[in-house]
Structure 1
Amino acid sequence: MNYILPLISGILTGLSMPGNLSSFLVWFSVAPFIYSFVNSKKTLERLIKVFLYSYSLMVTTLWWEVPVLTKNIPEVIKTFPGYIGFFSYLLMILILTIPYYIIWILGELYFRKSRVINKTSLILFSVFSYAAAEILKQFGDLAFTGANLSDALYMHTGFLQILPFTGSIGLTILILFVNAYIAFSPERERLKIGIFIIGILYIINFTISEKLPMINTSENSVKISVFQTNVPQEVKYSNDMWKSYVEISKYIEKSKDNSELLILPEAVFIKDIRNDEIFKVIKEAIKLSDKNWLMGFPTVDYEKREYYNSAIYINKNGEIENIYNKIRLMPFAEFLPYKSVFSLFSFFKLVSFYTPGDEYSILNLNGKKFSVQICFETYFPELSRNFTKNGAQFLVAISNDGWFSHKTALLQHFSKSVLRAAENRRTFIQVSNTGITGIVDKYGRIINTLPTHTYKGAQFSVPLNNEITFYTKYANIIIVIILILAIIFSLI
């Protein structure tokens, strides 16, 4: 039983993540781990419990990566066999547990011999040491913020209204306070206390959700068309670019509406087409559509010999007006992190290893300002913050989620757009190859989504907003304060 609790706790927490069993679990799923950890007597015991919790959490959350690495990618790019993908998955999960060891490190400070322990100090230590782990997941070449506790509540609009003041870490802290209070309550009273606290919270969530104002989209808004191309990966990654174009050309020909912008997904093509005949055809289609286009494909700087994963913004005259180069690249798939350590894993690259961009570009749409992110950049809140501070009045993400067979992966990805919308009080549009393509309002309410794995377009009316939230302004200070509190509550 000594090591069963953290294992069960990690599994339950993973099952609370988007697309898994139920978000309700997150309110008490961390409690068994917290209880077990603080009742450990030895350093090694605490270390093993952090490992068991974090590893089982990541496996249960990211189970959908198994078919991606063992079947979907190997069948398309043919650079490694499926069994290598499986062992790489196990290693990937191990790497993703690293930030959680800050809980163990801080625990060694907390459980020193001279420590006087009481319920209040246990709660504060547990809450802020775990919060520190989630913050650390944002940094470094191997950064990945999947399985954050706040993700579980992306559909709970009332709770999301914390985010403009604290960011998603504030919601994580609320969840941790509930778990810690349950964990350290008298055993006979835990169920009663848990039901009471969680019940009150859900009443608050419902009340806030119902009181949120409706948004008037008839004023100060822009009409935008989106197109979910649904091109199979084997077609996209073939050498026949025209085949990819034919897959989307029928919709393009019909895209004559009163919108000002058409957004297509990431990697519509998998090579730089700017000097190819196909781009001339696309430019003519853009002129006929009489609207600006935003689409994704890699670009190459031949002088510097650098490759970028890019979003290309083309005006209605067929001229490239701006190019955004992806800043936060995906480890192994788009760049090789810590080359001296991981040089053997270069076979994972999908097309080529890219150079990260360094400019938070703001795109101009007839005087309206917006920004674009690419794929998993939505997992990193600093990008949306920086775009918002630079003047973006709404936020866009384009993605190629065609690798993912299961909707769980799509939901976990889309949930990040919901959090970014609420944090910055910006309408957020995500456009993906196979889904989820949809629009989220500034309160984090999902307004519309297209059916996944379908060839479909839609028009959205997108309100503009210039408000800068407290979190957008002071996120870095909030992060530093939480890390300082984690240390303080480990020492006092």
Structure 2
Amino acid sequence: MDIRDVGHEIMASRSWWKFSEGPILTHIMEKFQVFFFYFDPNCSKIAPSGLFDGSVSDITRRFVYHLHGMSTSLLLAAFSGFLYSVSLPNELLPFGSPLIGPIAVVPVFLAVVRVRSIRHAATVGVVFGVVSTLLSNYWLMFFGEFSVWTIGGVTVGYAAYNALFFPFLWVISSPKASLTTVLSSRDRVLPYRPVLIAAAWVAYELLKSRGFLAYPWGLAAYTVSSVQSLIQSGELFGVWGLSFVVVFLNASILEFISAPGTGFPDPKERRRALGYIVSALALVVTFAGFGMVRLRQEVPIVGEFTAVLIQPNTDSWETGNEESSLLVLQSLTREAIIEHGRPDIVVWSETSLRRPYPENQEFFGRFPARDPFTQFLREIETPLVTGAPWRVTPDAHDYMNAVIMIKPDGSVSEWYGKQQLVPFAEEIPFWEFSFVREFFRSVVGIFGVWTPGNESRLFGFSADGHEYSFSAPICFEDAFANVVRRFDHAGADLHVNLTNNSWSRTDSAQYQHFVAALFRTVETRRTLVRSTNSGFTVVLDAHGRTIDSLPMFTAAYLHVTVPVHAPSHRTVYSATGDIVPILFLILVTVFLVARVHTRDRHHRLDRADDAAGD
């Protein structure tokens, strides 16, 4: 059946037609016509003569032709969203696929090249954002009672992000941009297109990883995180350099398989495109070669200590299991000490204590009833690092999601409050207003929020006569390079992350978190210890290599000897920070501004040429 017949069959439906004759719906459809022309002003150009007559039924025909005109591009975007989600850690491939990552976004880049306008590019971005987000972040559906808001909010957010970002990609990558007022007809082939695409992508990754709505999941570099030699570049460029290489390879393949909107390129264009692929592969080889050299160069170790990490496999969000969870934590800790002897430090996970400890010491003196917590502390005679709420000030009712270190005598020696809170879950704008609180309590199911910390505080302890300091990024804070970099500048000898991901119920959620955190070890050349409720509990050395770990969703303890690395100097990334993506952002901005600025000059030259021809 021809696409035109589909449109006529829809209009021939009597039940719909009778309904559409109503004046109210007619008015609505007329308004929709304006909306539709916004998305496809050229739709009538591809339609048979006389098919669009301006009637109410005309709107449905336009909609059918609009979908027909974009169907291939939308399918390419959806397919690319699928490939991208498979290239990231998932249930089938726990660490993603370094083979799929370098080709995953080629289809969506091809879709961007094919479309005719900025509005179509935004539609492609929406499809890619929705598909890739739902397939890779579906575990957000298990985010407590307000899961519909988390999965829905993230999906809508990424759809909006990509709806804004993909028009920029279109201007950079598509020769059809000359159909807009951005580029002139005499400037159809964009120079260095793969470089600009990769730079724009990395700049976008930086922007979505900063600020209140920051969510550094799904970065292009994560698709190749299982290749140890490649991730060593993190000490130079952070995660951004590797993201650039992955996207540059994708964009170079796009350059090779398609000249600007005209199918296969001529030999000259093919040679130019092949040059980009060779350049991309040369970058991969360079990064891998650098990594192989660095993997053979051990980062100096100034000491080591023994730690016991407790993974209780309980969800601290659940109600009614506070006592049983604490008993599991204490039992596993005792078991580890009996089996291996007393460690230098014991680490539990995020919010293992569900009540503010200093204000509830009397309570913990009798709770749990069978094995009071304060008695347990005296028994183990070891500093305990655990997650717990922390009151901001003694006379306030505001609390932080915090990590505290409790000494055997029951006193708190140090604490740290989480700075990067989960938006609309741990922190909500304008929470101080009663109508906002009422909405989130009655509609969403959120009854309270945390107060963000404002200081990168460190913890200290001694082992074998040495004093060590460590940071304690909480939950997804270890996925933020800028947060851990501040700890590095504060003087942390290593990083100890406390996390609760048990609510996710999936391995993929925990592996995705782990892969994001993995780069912090290379960026700072420091050890990373991750102690979690249900996984991934692991200790990584300064090269990102696993020293020891626990299986997912298993109640267990990990007794491990932790090396303390001391690099002779700060890494390039730790010293310079996010300079690479910032430079990329400036580059792309200058390019776009220059294009728009020269628009009128090009148009005047075009008109002058036309006049001379006449």
Provide TM-score, normalisation by structure 1.
0.88
2:411 aligns with one of 319, 326, 344: 319
The match for 1:77 is none
1:441 aligns with one of 538, 541, 551: 541
Task: State the SS of the aligned residue for 2:349.
Answer: coil
The match for 2:515 is 415
1:279 aligns with one of 348, 364, 383: 364
User: Cα deviations across residues 421-441 of structure 1 (Å, max 9, x unaligned)?
Assistant: 111111111111111100111
1:178 matches 2:241: no
2:311 aligns with one of 197, 208, 228: 228
Distance 1:431 1:159 in 2: 26
The match for 1:293 is 384
1:150 matches 2:221: yes
1:378 matches 2:469: no
Give aligned pairs, total: 477
The match for 2:237 is 166
Letter in 2 for 1:394: L
Letter in 1 for 2:574: T
- How far apart are residue 196 of structure 1 and its match? 11
Q: What is the alpha-carbon root mean square deviation over aligned residues?
A: 3.0
User: Cα deviations across residues 111-150 of structure 1 (Å, max 9, x unaligned)?
Assistant: 3223724364321221111111101112232211111111
1:212 matches 2:282: no
Distance 1:122 1:195 in 2: 15
Contact 2:232–2:290 (Cα < 8 Å) also in 1: no
- How far apart are residue 18 of structure 1 and its match? 1.1
Percent identity of paired positions between Structure 1 and Structure 2: 21
Distance 1:394 1:87 in 2: 35
Contact 2:484–2:520 (Cα < 8 Å) also in 1: yes
Distance 2:517 2:495 in 1: 9
The match for 1:106 is 168
Report the structure number with the largest CA radius of gyration: 2
Distance 1:303 1:237 in 2: 28
Q: Structure 1 stretch 42-51 or stretch 88-97: which is displaced more?
A: 88-97
The match for 1:95 is 157
The match for 2:210 is 139
Letter in 2 for 1:265: S
1:353 matches 2:449: yes
Higher relative contact order, chain-length normalized (CA < 8 Å, sep 6+): 1
* Cα distance change of structure 1 residues 200 and 386 upon mapping to structure 2, 3 Å threshold: closer
- How far apart are residue 460 of structure 1 and its match? 2.2
The match for 1:263 is 347
* Cα distance change of structure 1 residues 109 and 35 upon mapping to structure 2, 3 Å threshold: closer
Contact 2:308–2:558 (Cα < 8 Å) also in 1: yes
Task: State the SS of the aligned residue for 1:439.
Answer: strand
Distance 1:173 1:390 in 2: 29
Contact 1:399–1:430 (Cα < 8 Å) also in 2: yes
- How far apart are residue 29 of structure 1 and its match? 0.8
Contact 1:162–1:170 (Cα < 8 Å) also in 2: yes
- How far apart are residue 102 of structure 1 and its match? 4.7
The match for 1:37 is 112
Contact 1:425–1:465 (Cα < 8 Å) also in 2: yes
- How far apart are residue 476 of structure 1 and its match? 3.8
Letter in 2 for 1:330: V
Give ranges in structure 1 of 5+ residues lacking alignment: 75-79
Distance 2:343 2:113 in 1: 57
Task: State the SS of the aligned residue for 1:225.
Answer: strand
1:19 matches 2:90: yes
The match for 1:401 is 501
Contact 2:237–2:578 (Cα < 8 Å) also in 1: no
* Cα distance change of structure 1 residues 204 and 105 upon mapping to structure 2, 3 Å threshold: closer
Task: State the SS of the aligned residue for 1:184.
Answer: helix
- How far apart are residue 271 of structure 1 and its match? 2.3
- How far apart are residue 488 of structure 1 and its match? 2.6
Distance 1:86 1:349 in 2: 11
Letter in 1 for 2:346: L
